[in-house]
Amino acid sequence: MTPPLIIAIDGPAASGKSTIGKRIAERLGYLFFDTGVMYRAVTWMALQSGIDLHDEGALTRLAEETPIEVAPASRFDGRVCDVLVGGRDITWETRRPEVDSHVSLVSSYSGVRRALSAQQRRIGLRGCVVMAGRDIGTVVLPEADLKVYLDASAEERARRRYVELVARGEPADYQTILTAVLERDRIDSTRAVAPLRPADDAVIINTDGLTADQVFDRVWALCQDDPP
């Protein structure tokens, strides 16, 4: 069996891309790259420095000029990877609710997307990579050997996010999370540039009612299919 060299995993918020992508990458000895952390890092920096989130030019410059480093997780505190800006570890800052509620706006700007997708594409083309996001199979790496689109109902995804936050000891309210998930889905799938949608050649997996192990098994089986 020759496993696919480039694997794209797309899907809406909290559909399990990171959990599954990381496990598949570990099994194959590949790099796992979660592209959402880059959009989150730019959003966090903009909030920190008081940049107007409606100023597309300023946000584009920020995305172009800030070196965002995404490295394998250095701690066992539930993180999927380390996110560093100027040497500072901002991994957990990027998961804060204020980032959640603004990241889709920041990600809708074409200049921001251009800057970040160019970096993502460079990393992806090296191969031996599992890359997760919203537009990996459609825009960033349309040549990916395997494209998976993970889906689930908004209620199930909000429930998973709620459980995650509670496990980290953070305040969580299910209804607030559900509203935020629905709003992020709306912005991500209706934006003009690189909207969230499955690529024509993606395998769509609805994960409602499936455990993480069951989803992993399905994706793993796809990785073992020899191309025709």
Is 2 or 143 the residue whose CB approaches ligand CDP more closely?
A: 143
Is 28 or 131 the residue whose CB approaches ligand CDP more closely?
A: 131
149 to 188: interface string for ligand CDP, x by CB under 6 A = -----------------------------------x---x
Q: In DSSP terms, which residues pair with 32 in a beta bridge?
A: 130
Give burial (CB, 10 Å; 0-12/13-18/19+) of 79. Answer: middle
- Distance of closest approach, residue 197 Cβ to ligand CDP, in angstroms: 12
Scanning residues 89 to 108, which ones bind ligand CDP (CB under 6 A)?
103-104, 107
Asked if 133 touches ligand CDP (CB under 6 A), the answer is yes
Is 115 or 227 the residue whose CB approaches ligand CDP more closely?
A: 115
- Distance of closest approach, residue 117 Cβ to ligand CDP, in angstroms: 7
- Whether the Cβ atoms of residue 120 and residue 38 lie closer than 8 Å to each other: yes
Q: Which of 7, 14, 130, 202 binds ligand CDP (CB under 6 A)?
A: 14
Cα diameter, the chain: 53
Q: Where are the beta strands (DSSP E) in 88-165?
A: 88-89, 129-133, 146-151
- Distance of closest approach, residue 134 Cβ to ligand CDP, in angstroms: 4
Is 71 or 221 the residue whose CB approaches ligand CDP more closely?
A: 71
Q: Which of 140, 118, 150 is nearest to 9 (CA)?
A: 150
- Please compute, for residue 5, the number of CA atoms within 13 A of its CA located in the half-sphere on the CB side: 7
- Distance of closest approach, residue 184 Cβ to ligand CDP, in angstroms: 5
Q: 47: which 2 tokens?
A: 């909030």
Tell me how far the alpha carbon of residue 125 is from its chain's centroid: 18
Size of residue set near ligand CDP by CB under 6 A: 14
Alpha-carbon span 101 to 53, nearest angstrom:
12
How many Cβ atoms sit within 10 Å of the Cβ of residue 228? 3
Scanning residues 28 to 87, which ones bind ligand CDP (CB under 6 A)?
35-36, 39-40
- Whether the Cβ atoms of residue 124 and residue 33 lie closer than 8 Å to each other: yes
Alpha-carbon span 45 to 207, nearest angstrom:
33
Is 93 or 188 the residue whose CB approaches ligand CDP more closely?
A: 188
Stretch that binds ligand CDP, among 1-9, 132-140, 142-150, 211-219 (CB under 6 A): 132-140
Task: List contacts with ligand CDP (CB under 6 A).
Answer: 13-14, 35-36, 39-40, 103-104, 107, 133-135, 184, 188
